[in-house]
Amino acid sequence: MMINKKFRNHISVVAEETWKIVVFIFVIIFTAVIDNIESIINYTETSSIDMIWLTISLLAILLILVIIIIWKLIIWAKTYISINETSINIETNTIIKRKNTLLIKNISNVNIERNIFELIIGTSKLKLDTNTLSTADKTDVKIILKKNDAEKLQSFIMNLITQDKKEEIEEDLQEKIKYDIEKPEKDIIHHGILSIHIFSVIVLIISIIFGAQMILDSSSRIIEKGLIGIIFSILLIFIFFITSLWDIVKGFINYYGFKIKQNKDKLYINYGLIKRINYTVPIDKINALVLKQSFLGRISKNYMAEIVNIGINDNEQNNQTFLLPYNKQDDLYKEINRLLPDYKTVLKRNINKQPKRVWFIWIINIVIYFVLTIVGYLLTKSYFTEYKTYILLGIIIIGILIIVLKILKYNTEGSIIENKYLIISKGYLEKKIIYIPYEKIQFLELKQNIIAKKLKIQKGNIYLLASSTNRIQKIPYFEENKTNFIKQVLLKKHK
């Protein structure tokens, strides 16, 4: 094992850190060539000066790229990592000498990821995260090693975290684990279908229609907009098409080959087709359990599960850890009980809706909206006589939409305030239920305006040790008389 021994990242780290710059420079060069395509094809003496400047500019850009790559190689060669029983040290000896120390006791996760490039060359990315609020939105340390070395190092550090004092490192590598739950392809297809957002399907269809129309009318459009204009339009449509297509298919691809195991005080999670994920999650670092339903999930009464945990997925749009794919409610509960038995007693609790008195506050807000927008409409309609009917219609449609959303919100949102967990439900068409142990709450913020005070209802925010997207969890309106209970439980749990 690499304890008390200096080692470097695998040299492929240079390629992983520079590929975006290479793509960006390629786009600049491609754009420059397209902009000057006419001069290049119809080369004349009058255009020779422009061609010289174009060549000099392209060579300068390539030189910048070479300098960046050389500098990254120097950083790689001068950066060393060393590990002992108490800390991980990263030392860089370039123009500025830096040494960062990460204490083993502060590490919350040690995870392995493998993208396509890493799968091809046989490396893995080891990601280490600390359980501190200041670094909750980013991965603290990334180490790229050959696959076997990364797995051994992961096992070694996890043993240090859990204070395993055995002389030999426990062989619990992901590929040697017998998993508790393995999802076949049909279950992942089921999950992928329920994960689809209707909006993405609409965007995909529109992109296909516009793209087909663009191709059919390409000759006339080239004359009208020029070659650059038509390329830009096609590129824009292609971006919308790819983005919406990926949003539709990612539920099938991201979680392909899903398997999970609970072993003592850790969860081992493995999934992914294009990007292979190997997560090792200490159970005591889990700050909340999340059950989610998409619109299709609510219709079919299926749930999926995630966990809130510092570090994992910090660089992704969704900063939560995937726990279990979509399944029928009772079947999902059984799987959660197997993996996280501490949550067994709270899963089947019925969420208490917000007090009906909340409608007084919402109706006042709706009335204020209509008063302000109608007054604004009356004051400005003389300036927009041609569009006044459309403006008034828009005001009414938005007002109706607000009312519909409030109805959906009332039927979805609520909470359960009990001794061990604070349970929050939120959403509109989609639904999310969050189970939060009181000891994981950093602090509580309660809010109450004049109307809510008169109605004796309260809402608030709780703050978790998590990334920014999960750090603040809003508590929907609840009865004011439960406020002291929450405060007392929090004080008791944090003594």
The token pair that represents 494 in the structure block: 């944090």
Q: pLDDT tier at 298 (50, 70, 90 boundaries)? A: very high
Q: pLDDT tier at 489 (50, 70, 90 boundaries)? A: confident
pLDDT of residue 467: 67
What does DSSP say about strands 107-114 and 472-479: parallel, antiparallel, or unpaired?
A: unpaired
Any residues with CB less than 8 A from the CB of 128 and at least 6 apart, and which? 88, 102, 107, 109, 110, 139, 140, 141, 142, 143, 157, 311
- Residue 145 near residue 153 (C-beta atoms within 8 A): yes
pLDDT of residue 406: 94
CATH number of the domain within which 59 lies: 2.30.29
485 and 464 fall within a common domain: yes
Q: Is residue 1 part of a domain?
A: no
Name the nearest CA neighbour of 435 among 409, 462, 408, 398. 462
**193-243 tens-digit pLDDT:** 998 888 888 888 888 888 777 777 665 555 555 555 666 777 788 888 888
326-332, Cβ contacts within 8 angstroms, sequence gap of 24 or more? 326/190, 326/191, 326/194, 326/195, 326/297, 326/302, 327/187, 327/302, 327/303, 328/301, 328/302, 329/301, 329/302, 329/303, 332/291, 332/302, 332/303, 332/304, 332/305
Domain boundary among 176, 200, 231: 176
20 and 85 fall within a common domain: yes
Structural domains counted in the chain = 4
Q: Is 4 left (phi over 0), alpha (psi -120 to 50) or beta?
A: left
In this prediction, residues 446-458 reach a mean pLDDT of 91
163 and 218 fall within a common domain: no
Q: Is residue 472 part of a domain?
A: yes
pLDDT of residue 312: 55
**pLDDT value at 50 more than 70:** no
Question: Which residue carries 């995870």 as its tokens?
Answer: 111
- The alpha-helical segments, DSSP class H, found in 413-482 are 450-455, 468-471
pLDDT of residue 169: 43
291 and 420 fall within a common domain: yes
Domain boundary among 126, 145, 176: 176
308 and 348 fall within a common domain: yes
176 against 236, higher pLDDT: 236
Q: Is residue 296 part of a domain?
A: yes
d(CA 112, CA 106): 18
Name the nearest CA neighbour of 319 among 207, 445, 181, 464. 464
426 and 294 fall within a common domain: yes
Please name the amino acid found at residue 384: F
d(CA 62, CA 78): 24
Q: Is residue 437 part of a domain?
A: yes
What domain range is 397 assigned to?
358-411
In this prediction, residues 55-65 reach a mean pLDDT of 82
d(CA 470, CA 271): 23
Enclosing H/E stretch for 88: strand 87-93
298 and 218 fall within a common domain: no
Q: Is residue 183 part of a domain?
A: no
Q: Is 273 helix (H, G, I), strand (E, B) or coil?
A: coil
What does DSSP say about strands 288-293 and 431-437: parallel, antiparallel, or unpaired?
A: antiparallel
Q: Is residue 349 part of a domain?
A: yes
- Number of neighbouring beta carbons within 10 Å of residue 196: 18
pTM of the model: 0.74
- Number of neighbouring beta carbons within 10 Å of residue 290: 21
**381-413 tens-digit pLDDT:** 777 777 778 888 888 999 999 999 999 999 999
Any residues with CB less than 8 A from the CB of 228 and at least 6 apart, and which? 34, 35
Name the DSSP letter for residue 133: G
Q: Highest-confidence range of 89-98, 126-135, 407-416, by mean pLDDT?
A: 407-416
Name the nearest CA neighbour of 350 among 415, 431, 408. 415
60 and 132 fall within a common domain: yes
332 and 396 fall within a common domain: no
Q: pLDDT tier at 494 (50, 70, 90 boundaries)? A: low
Sign of CA dihedral 187, 188, 193, 194: positive
Apex CA 63: angle with CA 60 and CA 66, to 5°?
A: 160
31 against 122, higher pLDDT: 122
112 and 54 fall within a common domain: yes
19 and 79 fall within a common domain: yes
d(CA 379, CA 204): 40
349 against 169, higher pLDDT: 349
Q: pLDDT tier at 321 (50, 70, 90 boundaries)? A: confident
What does DSSP say about strands 107-114 and 321-328: parallel, antiparallel, or unpaired?
A: unpaired
Apex CA 397: angle with CA 394 and CA 403, to 5°?
A: 140
244 and 114 fall within a common domain: no
Q: Is residue 280 part of a domain?
A: no
Please, which residues bridge with residue 306 across strands?
290, 322
Q: Is residue 184 part of a domain?
A: no
Mean pLDDT of all residues belonging to the chain: 81
What helix, strand, coil percent values describe the chain, rounded to 5?
55, 25, 20
